[in-house]
Amino acid sequence: MTADKEILEAALFASGEPLDIAQLSDLVRGKNAKELLGQLMEEYRQRHSALEIKEIEGRYVMQVMPEYAEKVRSLAPKELRAPVLRTLSMIAYHQPLTVADLVDRRGAAAYDHARELEEWGFISAVPQGRTKLLSTTQRFADYFNLDSGDPDAIRRKIIELAKEQQMGLDKWLGKQGIGVTPMFESLMALCGIAEYRVVNPYHPTDEERDLAQELGVLVVSKGYQKKIEEYFDGRIIEVSATTFDELVNSINLLSEYGSPRKVKESIEMISGLKDEYIEKTYSVTRKVAPQTEMISKMINELRLGISNDGVKVAPDYGTSSDGKEIGTGADVLIPTHKNAETDVVKRICQRYDALIDGLKKMGK
């Protein structure tokens, strides 16, 4: 190993945190630091070392390989106390978050926690009126070995921390559960989520808004996130279930809160139903002229033919939200809203049955 590579290796070891290429280049002036680091990374891989040198968004860090990290975790310095760590998790999960909102959620101790976290460099505090706006820093991402400061990556890390502490995410964040709209209540059973509240977040009363603020997560129909963000500062998960594939995707979105066994069983059951309905279309000869995007998704999943002069298929809601007439002159109507099953699986089956039966009658 050359002296230049040894210098870079020593710098990464001594730092204990990611260093950018400019900092490392200053140590080996006149040499290509990036090329040397690439050689060093490969040498560590070839040795099958318990340590690795990793590049994270243009910064380099020496760290314990993931398969060894858990074994040596108990020997690592305990830098953050559990209460402070939970306060940091709340800031990261809901960022940007004002100090006032943080104190409302975590109590007066959060003032001291925020000061401590700012001293550690894990959060920034930007003045906003009479309070401050708190957000995580790059140091936060570096400390927890995140590939980026992306909010979704941060939320996943917080969920992991909660599981390590054998606490539910809601307890970890000081929240009290998941809220779901009536249309998707049956989705909870498919995911194995036993504790939840049925809510109406679309046109909430003042009382319903207060109820929503006690929750950590709201499960709503796709397309409503921006409207709900106006008053809800927790996590919003948009789901949909026009087709079996969409239902599987929705289950996967909620899987972190549910039972792995139940999620697996539900996905297998839904995949089997999808195959059964595709088989039912083998005798359908007529092509379809879908009148809405919803119908197009159904037609595509069942692998039916599409043609402008095919059988006109439309949902049965009559008038869309923008006042447009839907379904007038349609040959086949698909049940929606009040005319559809409340159980999400039965709802898809009901719609597919109506579609296939209608097409078969048109083919006679």
- What is the DSSP secondary structure assignment for residue 187, as one 8-state letter? H
Q: State the DSSP H helix or E strand holding residue 53, giving kind and residue range, or none if neither.
A: strand 51-56
pLDDT at 1 (0 to 100):
43
Question: CB under 8 Å to 76, separation ≥6 — which residues?
Answer: none
pLDDT at 319 (0 to 100):
58
- Residues 44 and 36 sit within 8 Å (Cβ to Cβ): no
What is the C-alpha to C-alpha distance for residues 262 and 93, in angstroms, rounded to an integer?
A: 27
Architecture of domain 82-171: Orthogonal Bundle (1.10)
pLDDT at 75 (0 to 100):
44
What is the C-alpha to C-alpha distance for residues 271 and 264, in angstroms, rounded to an integer?
A: 11
Task: Reduce the DSSP state of residue 163 to 3 states and report it.
Answer: helix
pLDDT at 68 (0 to 100):
65
State the 10-residue block means of pLDDT for the chain, 364 residues long. 78 76 84 88 85 80 72 52 75 84 74 85 87 86 74 73 56 65 92 85 76 77 84 82 95 86 94 95 91 92 92 79 64 82 92 93 73
Please state the separation of Cα 217 from the chain's center in Å: 11
The domains spanning 3-74 and 82-171 adopt the same CATH topology: yes
Q: Taking the domains of the chain in order of start, what are their residue ranges?
A: 3-74, 82-171, 175-264, 284-362
Task: Reduce the DSSP state of residue 362 to 3 states and report it.
Answer: helix
Architecture of domain 3-74: Orthogonal Bundle (1.10)
**Radius of gyration of the CA atoms of the chain, in A:** 27
What is the C-alpha to C-alpha distance for residues 320 and 327, in angstroms, rounded to an integer?
A: 10
Please state the separation of Cα 347 from the chain's center in Å: 25
Maximum CA extent, the chain? 84
What is the C-alpha to C-alpha distance for residues 204 and 182, in angstroms, rounded to an integer?
A: 14
Give the homologous superfamily in CATH for domain 175-264. Answer: Nitrogenase molybdenum iron protein domain (3.40.50.1980)
For residues 61-85, one letter each, b for 16 or more C-beta atoms within 10 angstroms of the residue's C-beta and e for the rest, the string is bbbbeeeeeeeeeeeeeeebeeebb
